[in-house]
Structure 1
């Protein structure tokens, strides 16, 4: 996904809120999400498979936020 597509999905206000939480400029947030999204998907689908049972999306999103803060 591109930063433009991320911007279309989340919208400016949501990206602005996330930027404020992370302490980075709003215009960088979509690019950071686009860069780390493949890593998040890899973590959620080990060996290319969706794990059986419940997936802890909260933990995955926390990991995403941690990656964005780098």
Structure 2
């Protein structure tokens, strides 16, 4: 799962080795809704991404979003913090997040079920909310 997302984000955005930490930050940010996928769905719906979200969860083609929509969904604080931590411009983070967000939600819901989303995100990171375990899981997945 992670490898596919990293290839998509890294290739489309030109982030190179910064794609992995950005995707990790994005997945952690999405996982903050806890075990309630409806909270995450509501968050993305409030950002005006209801139709796109349904396409990401479903088994069909994913509808794209732009950088501004990604910022609405994730919040400007996330964009600014990620840019600062990774040494990127906010526009780079917005564009990469626009590439990553549909892929992350899609891969976290392989059966087209929103109820599996949070556990899918946490499982992909290799931990149940423990940041160290998540990082280790992500790095382990990248290596092999």
TM-score interval, smaller chain = 0.5 to 0.7
- CA distance in 1 between partners of 2:78 and 2:102 (Å): 20
Which residue, out of 70, 87, 98, partners 1:34?
98
Show the counterpart of 2:89: 25
Deviation of 1:57 (Å): 4.4
Sort the Cα spacing of 1:8 and 1:51 in 2 relative to 1 into closer, same or farther, 3 A. Answer: closer
- CA distance in 2 between partners of 1:56 and 1:48 (Å): 12
Aligned length, in residue pairs: 61
Deviation of 1:48 (Å): 2.1
Q: Given the two structures, how large is their TM-score scaled by the length of structure 2?
A: 0.34
Cα deviations by residue, 1:3-42 (Å, 9 ceiling, x for unpaired)? 111223312x431111111221112111100101121012
| 1:47 matches 2:111 | yes
Q: Given the two structures, how large is their TM-score scaled by the length of structure 1?
A: 0.60
The structure with the largest alpha-carbon Rg is: 2
- CA distance in 2 between partners of 1:45 and 1:24 (Å): 29
- For structure 2, the residue ranges without an aligned partner over 5 or more in a row are 1-64, 127-133, 139-144
Show the counterpart of 1:16: 80
Q: Is the 8 A contact 2:79 2:90 kept in 1?
A: yes
